Structure 1
Amino acid sequence: MKHLQAAVLPAAVISTGLMAGLFAGFAYAVMPGLDRSSDRTFVEAVQGINEAILNPAFMLPFMGSIPLLALAVFLARRGQGRPALPWLIAALVLYLIAFMVTSGVNVPLNDQLAKAGDVDHIKHLGTVRDHFESTWVTWNIIRALLHTAAFACLAWALVVYGAHRPKEGKSANSAAGPIFQNSDPMPTAYQHGGRTPYNSHPDQRPDHITTPASNP
Protein backbone atom coordinates (compact mmCIF):
# COMPACT_ATOMS: atom_id res chain seq x y z
CA MET A 1 0.00 0.00 0.00
CA LYS A 2 2.85 2.38 0.78
CA HIS A 3 4.36 1.83 -2.65
CA LEU A 4 0.99 2.44 -4.31
CA GLN A 5 0.54 5.69 -2.38
CA ALA A 6 4.07 6.76 -3.31
CA ALA A 7 3.18 6.28 -7.00
CA VAL A 8 -0.36 7.69 -7.00
CA LEU A 9 0.41 10.95 -5.22
CA PRO A 10 3.16 12.17 -7.60
CA ALA A 11 1.00 11.15 -10.58
CA ALA A 12 -1.88 13.24 -9.23
CA VAL A 13 0.47 16.19 -8.69
CA ILE A 14 1.71 15.99 -12.28
CA SER A 15 -1.72 15.63 -13.90
CA THR A 16 -3.24 18.42 -11.81
CA GLY A 17 -0.26 20.65 -12.51
CA LEU A 18 -0.68 20.10 -16.24
CA MET A 19 -4.29 21.26 -16.07
CA ALA A 20 -3.42 24.27 -13.93
CA GLY A 21 -0.71 25.28 -16.39
CA LEU A 22 -2.98 24.82 -19.40
CA PHE A 23 -5.84 26.97 -18.14
CA ALA A 24 -3.46 29.54 -16.68
CA GLY A 25 -1.78 29.78 -20.09
CA PHE A 26 -5.15 30.57 -21.66
CA ALA A 27 -5.77 33.20 -18.97
CA TYR A 28 -2.53 35.16 -19.28
CA ALA A 29 -1.43 34.51 -22.87
CA VAL A 30 -3.84 32.89 -25.33
CA MET A 31 -7.02 34.86 -24.70
CA PRO A 32 -5.30 38.24 -24.18
CA GLY A 33 -3.54 37.65 -27.49
CA LEU A 34 -6.77 36.77 -29.29
CA ASP A 35 -8.45 39.78 -27.73
CA ARG A 36 -6.29 41.94 -29.99
CA SER A 37 -7.42 40.15 -33.14
CA SER A 38 -10.37 40.79 -35.44
CA ASP A 39 -13.75 39.12 -34.94
CA ARG A 40 -13.13 36.72 -37.79
CA THR A 41 -9.69 35.73 -36.51
CA PHE A 42 -10.98 35.31 -32.96
CA VAL A 43 -13.91 33.06 -33.85
CA GLU A 44 -11.90 31.00 -36.32
CA ALA A 45 -8.98 30.55 -33.91
CA VAL A 46 -11.12 29.56 -30.92
CA GLN A 47 -13.11 27.09 -33.01
CA GLY A 48 -9.86 25.52 -34.16
CA ILE A 49 -8.49 25.33 -30.60
CA ASN A 50 -11.68 23.72 -29.31
CA GLU A 51 -11.44 21.02 -31.96
CA ALA A 52 -7.71 20.40 -31.60
CA ILE A 53 -7.69 20.15 -27.80
CA LEU A 54 -9.95 17.08 -27.77
CA ASN A 55 -7.07 14.60 -27.86
CA PRO A 56 -5.60 11.99 -25.47
CA ALA A 57 -2.85 14.35 -24.30
CA PHE A 58 -5.55 16.60 -22.84
CA MET A 59 -8.25 14.11 -21.90
CA LEU A 60 -5.96 11.76 -19.98
CA PRO A 61 -4.81 14.24 -17.32
CA PHE A 62 -8.10 16.17 -17.37
CA MET A 63 -10.25 13.10 -16.69
CA GLY A 64 -7.59 10.97 -15.00
CA SER A 65 -6.84 13.43 -12.21
CA ILE A 66 -10.17 12.71 -10.52
CA PRO A 67 -9.64 8.96 -9.96
CA LEU A 68 -6.02 9.60 -9.00
CA LEU A 69 -7.07 12.13 -6.37
CA ALA A 70 -9.86 9.88 -5.09
CA LEU A 71 -7.45 6.96 -4.80
CA ALA A 72 -4.90 9.12 -2.99
CA VAL A 73 -7.57 10.16 -0.48
CA PHE A 74 -8.66 6.55 0.00
CA LEU A 75 -5.11 5.35 0.63
CA ALA A 76 -4.45 8.20 3.05
CA ARG A 77 -7.57 7.32 5.04
CA ARG A 78 -6.35 3.73 5.25
CA GLY A 79 -3.27 4.99 7.06
CA GLN A 80 -0.81 5.52 4.23
CA GLY A 81 0.30 9.14 4.63
CA ARG A 82 -2.57 10.09 6.92
CA PRO A 83 -1.07 13.50 7.89
CA ALA A 84 -1.49 14.56 4.24
CA LEU A 85 -5.20 13.64 4.18
CA PRO A 86 -6.64 17.16 4.77
CA TRP A 87 -4.60 18.56 1.88
CA LEU A 88 -5.62 15.70 -0.39
CA ILE A 89 -9.29 16.23 0.39
CA ALA A 90 -8.94 19.96 -0.28
CA ALA A 91 -7.25 19.24 -3.61
CA LEU A 92 -10.00 16.81 -4.62
CA VAL A 93 -12.77 19.28 -3.75
CA LEU A 94 -11.07 22.13 -5.60
CA TYR A 95 -10.48 19.98 -8.66
CA LEU A 96 -14.10 18.80 -8.72
CA ILE A 97 -15.34 22.40 -8.54
CA ALA A 98 -13.02 23.37 -11.40
CA PHE A 99 -14.20 20.34 -13.37
CA MET A 100 -17.82 21.43 -12.92
CA VAL A 101 -16.94 24.94 -14.09
CA THR A 102 -15.42 23.52 -17.25
CA SER A 103 -18.32 21.13 -17.86
CA GLY A 104 -21.06 23.57 -16.90
CA VAL A 105 -19.81 26.84 -18.41
CA ASN A 106 -16.82 26.65 -20.73
CA VAL A 107 -17.78 23.51 -22.66
CA PRO A 108 -21.35 24.71 -23.40
CA LEU A 109 -19.92 28.00 -24.65
CA ASN A 110 -17.51 26.07 -26.87
CA ASP A 111 -20.40 24.03 -28.25
CA GLN A 112 -22.40 27.19 -28.86
CA LEU A 113 -19.51 28.72 -30.78
CA ALA A 114 -19.12 25.54 -32.84
CA LYS A 115 -22.82 25.60 -33.75
CA ALA A 116 -22.37 29.08 -35.19
CA GLY A 117 -20.77 27.34 -38.15
CA ASP A 118 -17.98 28.29 -40.49
CA VAL A 119 -16.79 31.88 -40.23
CA ASP A 120 -17.50 32.38 -43.92
CA HIS A 121 -21.21 31.82 -43.26
CA ILE A 122 -21.59 33.77 -40.00
CA LYS A 123 -23.29 37.10 -40.69
CA HIS A 124 -22.69 38.78 -37.34
CA LEU A 125 -19.25 37.72 -36.16
CA GLY A 126 -19.11 40.51 -33.59
CA THR A 127 -22.31 39.33 -31.91
CA VAL A 128 -21.12 35.72 -31.80
CA ARG A 129 -17.85 36.84 -30.28
CA ASP A 130 -19.52 39.03 -27.67
CA HIS A 131 -21.77 36.19 -26.52
CA PHE A 132 -18.72 33.99 -26.04
CA GLU A 133 -15.63 35.94 -25.09
CA SER A 134 -16.30 37.81 -21.85
CA THR A 135 -18.10 34.94 -20.09
CA TRP A 136 -15.63 32.31 -21.25
CA VAL A 137 -12.59 34.37 -20.24
CA THR A 138 -14.01 35.15 -16.79
CA TRP A 139 -14.80 31.54 -15.95
CA ASN A 140 -11.52 30.35 -17.41
CA ILE A 141 -9.70 32.58 -14.92
CA ILE A 142 -11.81 31.11 -12.13
CA ARG A 143 -11.07 27.51 -13.12
CA ALA A 144 -7.38 28.34 -13.58
CA LEU A 145 -7.27 29.63 -10.00
CA LEU A 146 -9.11 26.54 -8.76
CA HIS A 147 -6.75 24.18 -10.56
CA THR A 148 -3.74 26.12 -9.31
CA ALA A 149 -5.04 25.94 -5.74
CA ALA A 150 -5.62 22.19 -6.12
CA PHE A 151 -2.08 21.79 -7.44
CA ALA A 152 -0.68 23.76 -4.49
CA CYS A 153 -2.58 21.57 -2.01
CA LEU A 154 -1.30 18.44 -3.71
CA ALA A 155 2.27 19.70 -3.76
CA TRP A 156 2.10 20.42 -0.04
CA ALA A 157 0.48 17.03 0.59
CA LEU A 158 3.45 15.44 -1.15
CA VAL A 159 5.83 17.38 1.11
CA VAL A 160 3.90 16.34 4.23
CA TYR A 161 3.81 12.72 3.10
CA GLY A 162 7.53 12.69 2.40
CA ALA A 163 8.35 14.35 5.72
CA HIS A 164 6.22 11.85 7.63
CA ARG A 165 7.85 8.71 6.26
CA PRO A 166 11.29 9.19 7.95
CA LYS A 167 9.54 9.86 11.28
CA GLU A 168 7.86 6.47 11.12
CA GLY A 169 11.19 4.75 10.52
CA LYS A 170 12.85 6.76 13.26
CA SER A 171 10.13 5.82 15.74
CA ALA A 172 10.60 2.15 14.92
CA ASN A 173 14.34 2.42 15.52
CA SER A 174 13.78 4.26 18.80
CA ALA A 175 11.43 1.55 19.99
CA ALA A 176 14.02 -1.11 19.25
CA GLY A 177 16.86 0.88 20.81
CA PRO A 178 16.33 -0.02 24.51
CA ILE A 179 16.61 -3.72 23.67
CA PHE A 180 20.26 -3.23 22.86
CA GLN A 181 20.88 -0.63 25.52
CA ASN A 182 19.61 -2.88 28.31
CA SER A 183 21.41 -6.03 27.17
CA ASP A 184 24.20 -7.43 29.31
CA PRO A 185 27.70 -6.24 28.50
CA MET A 186 29.97 -8.55 26.61
CA PRO A 187 32.03 -10.80 28.89
CA THR A 188 35.50 -9.53 29.61
CA ALA A 189 37.10 -12.54 27.99
CA TYR A 190 35.46 -11.74 24.65
CA GLN A 191 36.54 -8.12 24.90
CA HIS A 192 40.16 -9.32 24.78
CA GLY A 193 39.80 -11.51 21.74
CA GLY A 194 38.90 -14.65 23.68
CA ARG A 195 41.82 -14.34 26.13
CA THR A 196 41.47 -13.82 29.85
CA PRO A 197 42.87 -10.57 31.21
CA TYR A 198 45.80 -12.20 32.99
CA ASN A 199 46.98 -13.79 29.76
CA SER A 200 47.49 -10.33 28.36
CA HIS A 201 48.72 -8.66 31.56
CA PRO A 202 51.10 -10.82 33.62
CA ASP A 203 51.05 -8.41 36.56
CA GLN A 204 47.35 -9.04 37.03
CA ARG A 205 47.62 -12.83 37.40
CA PRO A 206 46.04 -14.34 40.52
CA ASP A 207 48.42 -15.45 43.28
CA HIS A 208 47.70 -19.15 42.74
CA ILE A 209 48.89 -18.94 39.14
CA THR A 210 52.63 -19.43 38.93
CA THR A 211 54.96 -19.46 36.01
CA PRO A 212 56.96 -22.69 35.67
CA ALA A 213 60.65 -22.20 36.23
CA SER A 214 62.71 -22.46 33.15
CA ASN A 215 65.21 -25.29 32.85
CA PRO A 216 68.83 -24.29 33.19
Structure 2
Amino acid sequence: MRTLQTAALLASTAGAALMAGLFCAFAYAVMPGLSRTDDRAFVQSMRHINRAVINGWFLVPFLLPLPSLVLATVLAAKGHGPEGLPWIIAALVLYGAAFLVTGTRNVPLNDALDKVAPDTAPERLRDARAAFEGPWARWNTVRAVLHTASLGALLWALHLHGAAAQG
Protein backbone atom coordinates (compact mmCIF):
# COMPACT_ATOMS: atom_id res chain seq x y z
CA MET A 1 0.00 0.00 0.00
CA ARG A 2 2.90 2.33 0.64
CA THR A 3 3.89 2.05 -3.04
CA LEU A 4 0.34 2.97 -4.07
CA GLN A 5 0.43 5.97 -1.75
CA THR A 6 3.79 7.02 -3.21
CA ALA A 7 2.32 6.79 -6.73
CA ALA A 8 -0.74 8.80 -5.69
CA LEU A 9 1.45 11.49 -4.11
CA LEU A 10 3.72 11.66 -7.15
CA ALA A 11 0.76 11.92 -9.57
CA SER A 12 -0.82 14.63 -7.44
CA THR A 13 2.46 16.52 -7.17
CA ALA A 14 3.06 16.39 -10.92
CA GLY A 15 -0.46 17.64 -11.64
CA ALA A 16 -0.27 20.41 -9.05
CA ALA A 17 3.11 21.50 -10.42
CA LEU A 18 1.83 21.65 -13.99
CA MET A 19 -1.28 23.59 -13.00
CA ALA A 20 0.67 26.00 -10.77
CA GLY A 21 3.05 26.62 -13.65
CA LEU A 22 0.30 27.14 -16.20
CA PHE A 23 -1.74 29.54 -14.10
CA CYS A 24 1.34 31.42 -12.89
CA ALA A 25 2.48 31.84 -16.50
CA PHE A 26 -0.89 33.35 -17.33
CA ALA A 27 -0.56 35.71 -14.36
CA TYR A 28 2.94 36.99 -15.13
CA ALA A 29 3.22 36.65 -18.91
CA VAL A 30 0.12 35.82 -20.93
CA MET A 31 -2.37 38.29 -19.46
CA PRO A 32 0.15 41.17 -19.23
CA GLY A 33 1.06 40.49 -22.86
CA LEU A 34 -2.55 40.36 -23.98
CA SER A 35 -3.31 43.55 -22.04
CA ARG A 36 -1.19 45.38 -24.62
CA THR A 37 -3.42 44.33 -27.52
CA ASP A 38 -6.51 46.04 -28.87
CA ASP A 39 -9.96 44.81 -27.85
CA ARG A 40 -10.55 42.68 -30.93
CA ALA A 41 -7.16 40.93 -30.66
CA PHE A 42 -7.65 40.39 -26.92
CA VAL A 43 -11.11 38.84 -27.31
CA GLN A 44 -10.07 36.67 -30.26
CA SER A 45 -6.88 35.51 -28.53
CA MET A 46 -8.62 34.56 -25.29
CA ARG A 47 -11.37 32.75 -27.20
CA HIS A 48 -8.73 30.75 -29.09
CA ILE A 49 -6.79 29.99 -25.90
CA ASN A 50 -9.92 28.92 -24.02
CA ARG A 51 -10.88 26.52 -26.80
CA ALA A 52 -7.36 25.17 -27.36
CA VAL A 53 -6.74 24.41 -23.68
CA ILE A 54 -9.52 21.84 -23.48
CA ASN A 55 -7.43 18.82 -24.42
CA GLY A 56 -5.82 15.82 -22.76
CA TRP A 57 -2.56 17.62 -22.08
CA PHE A 58 -4.50 20.00 -19.83
CA LEU A 59 -7.32 17.79 -18.55
CA VAL A 60 -5.19 14.90 -17.24
CA PRO A 61 -2.95 17.00 -14.95
CA PHE A 62 -5.90 19.22 -14.02
CA LEU A 63 -8.27 16.40 -13.04
CA LEU A 64 -5.92 13.61 -11.87
CA PRO A 65 -4.74 15.22 -8.60
CA LEU A 66 -8.21 15.19 -7.05
CA PRO A 67 -8.77 11.41 -7.02
CA SER A 68 -5.06 10.84 -6.37
CA LEU A 69 -5.19 13.11 -3.34
CA VAL A 70 -8.32 11.42 -2.05
CA LEU A 71 -6.59 8.04 -2.41
CA ALA A 72 -3.43 9.30 -0.68
CA THR A 73 -5.56 10.74 2.14
CA VAL A 74 -7.46 7.49 2.66
CA LEU A 75 -4.27 5.42 2.64
CA ALA A 76 -2.55 7.75 5.10
CA ALA A 77 -5.60 7.78 7.38
CA LYS A 78 -5.59 3.96 7.39
CA GLY A 79 -1.99 3.93 8.58
CA HIS A 80 -0.13 3.51 5.28
CA GLY A 81 2.32 6.39 5.58
CA PRO A 82 0.40 8.55 8.07
CA GLU A 83 3.31 10.95 8.67
CA GLY A 84 2.22 13.26 5.83
CA LEU A 85 -1.54 13.13 6.49
CA PRO A 86 -1.99 16.77 7.60
CA TRP A 87 -0.04 17.97 4.55
CA ILE A 88 -1.94 15.68 2.20
CA ILE A 89 -5.23 16.99 3.58
CA ALA A 90 -3.98 20.57 3.22
CA ALA A 91 -2.99 19.85 -0.40
CA LEU A 92 -6.41 18.33 -1.09
CA VAL A 93 -8.25 21.32 0.39
CA LEU A 94 -6.07 23.82 -1.49
CA TYR A 95 -6.30 21.93 -4.77
CA GLY A 96 -10.06 21.53 -4.34
CA ALA A 97 -10.41 25.27 -3.70
CA ALA A 98 -8.40 26.04 -6.86
CA PHE A 99 -10.56 23.60 -8.81
CA LEU A 100 -13.69 25.37 -7.55
CA VAL A 101 -12.28 28.78 -8.48
CA THR A 102 -11.67 27.52 -12.00
CA GLY A 103 -15.16 26.05 -12.32
CA THR A 104 -17.13 28.82 -10.66
CA ARG A 105 -15.16 31.91 -11.69
CA ASN A 106 -12.83 31.49 -14.67
CA VAL A 107 -14.90 29.06 -16.74
CA PRO A 108 -18.10 31.16 -16.61
CA LEU A 109 -16.07 34.19 -17.68
CA ASN A 110 -14.59 32.12 -20.53
CA ASP A 111 -18.07 30.99 -21.56
CA ALA A 112 -19.38 34.56 -21.58
CA LEU A 113 -16.46 35.75 -23.70
CA ASP A 114 -16.95 32.85 -26.09
CA LYS A 115 -20.42 34.21 -26.94
CA VAL A 116 -18.91 37.44 -28.28
CA ALA A 117 -18.57 37.17 -32.05
CA PRO A 118 -15.25 38.39 -33.48
CA ASP A 119 -17.08 40.70 -35.89
CA THR A 120 -18.93 42.44 -33.05
CA ALA A 121 -19.05 46.23 -32.95
CA PRO A 122 -15.98 47.84 -31.31
CA GLU A 123 -17.94 49.15 -28.30
CA ARG A 124 -19.36 45.67 -27.59
CA LEU A 125 -15.84 44.20 -27.79
CA ARG A 126 -14.62 46.87 -25.37
CA ASP A 127 -17.48 46.07 -22.96
CA ALA A 128 -16.89 42.32 -23.23
CA ARG A 129 -13.20 42.78 -22.57
CA ALA A 130 -13.86 45.07 -19.60
CA ALA A 131 -16.25 42.51 -18.08
CA PHE A 132 -13.73 39.71 -18.60
CA GLU A 133 -10.14 40.86 -18.25
CA GLY A 134 -9.90 42.20 -14.70
CA PRO A 135 -12.06 39.57 -12.98
CA TRP A 136 -10.49 36.71 -14.94
CA ALA A 137 -6.95 37.86 -14.15
CA ARG A 138 -7.75 38.26 -10.43
CA TRP A 139 -9.34 34.82 -10.16
CA ASN A 140 -6.50 33.32 -12.18
CA THR A 141 -4.04 34.75 -9.67
CA VAL A 142 -6.09 33.23 -6.83
CA ARG A 143 -6.00 29.80 -8.45
CA ALA A 144 -2.30 30.15 -9.23
CA VAL A 145 -1.60 30.85 -5.55
CA LEU A 146 -3.83 27.96 -4.43
CA HIS A 147 -2.20 25.50 -6.83
CA THR A 148 1.25 26.67 -5.76
CA ALA A 149 0.35 26.28 -2.09
CA SER A 150 -1.06 22.82 -2.82
CA LEU A 151 2.19 21.94 -4.55
CA GLY A 152 4.18 23.10 -1.52
CA ALA A 153 2.08 20.96 0.80
CA LEU A 154 2.51 17.97 -1.51
CA LEU A 155 6.26 18.41 -1.69
CA TRP A 156 6.47 18.45 2.09
CA ALA A 157 4.19 15.40 2.33
CA LEU A 158 6.45 13.59 -0.14
CA HIS A 159 9.50 14.55 1.91
CA LEU A 160 7.92 13.19 5.09
CA HIS A 161 6.73 10.08 3.24
CA GLY A 162 10.21 9.41 1.87
CA ALA A 163 11.96 10.10 5.15
CA ALA A 164 9.66 7.71 7.00
CA ALA A 165 10.23 5.00 4.38
CA GLN A 166 13.97 5.30 4.89
CA GLY A 167 13.35 4.93 8.56
Instruction: Give the TM-score, by structure 1 length.
Output: 0.75
In structure 2, distance between residues paired with 1:53 and 1:73: 29
| Aligned match of 1:187 | none
Q: Does 1:50 align with 2:50?
A: yes
Please say which structure displays the higher CA radius of gyration: 1
How far off is 1:122 after superposition? 4.1
In structure 1, distance between residues paired with 2:5 and 2:88: 12
Question: Which gives a bigger RCO, structure 1 or 2 (Cα 8 Å, sep 6+)?
Answer: 2
In structure 2, distance between residues paired with 1:122 and 1:104: 28
Report if the CA contact (8 A) 2:13-2:154 is conserved.
yes
Q: Does 1:98 align with 2:111?
A: no
How far off is 1:121 after superposition? 2.9
Report if the CA contact (8 A) 2:11-2:64 is conserved.
no
4+ residue runs over 4 A deviation: none
- Give aligned-pair identity as a percent: 50
- Give the secondary structure class of the aligned counterpart of 1:121: coil
Aligned residues: 166
In structure 2, distance between residues paired with 1:158 and 1:122: 53
| Aligned match of 1:60 | 60
In structure 1, distance between residues paired with 2:120 and 2:106: 24
Equivalences for residues 119-198 of structure 1 within 5 A: 119-123=118-122, 124-167=124-167
Q: Which runs of 5+ in 1 are unaligned?
A: 168-216
In structure 2, distance between residues paired with 1:90 and 1:6: 17
In structure 1, distance between residues paired with 2:15 and 2:111: 25
- Give the secondary structure class of the aligned counterpart of 1:111: helix
Report if the CA contact (8 A) 1:116-1:122 is conserved.
no
- Give the secondary structure class of the aligned counterpart of 1:113: helix
Report if the CA contact (8 A) 1:66-1:95 is conserved.
yes
In structure 2, distance between residues paired with 1:88 and 1:145: 17
Q: Which runs of 5+ in 2 are unaligned?
A: none
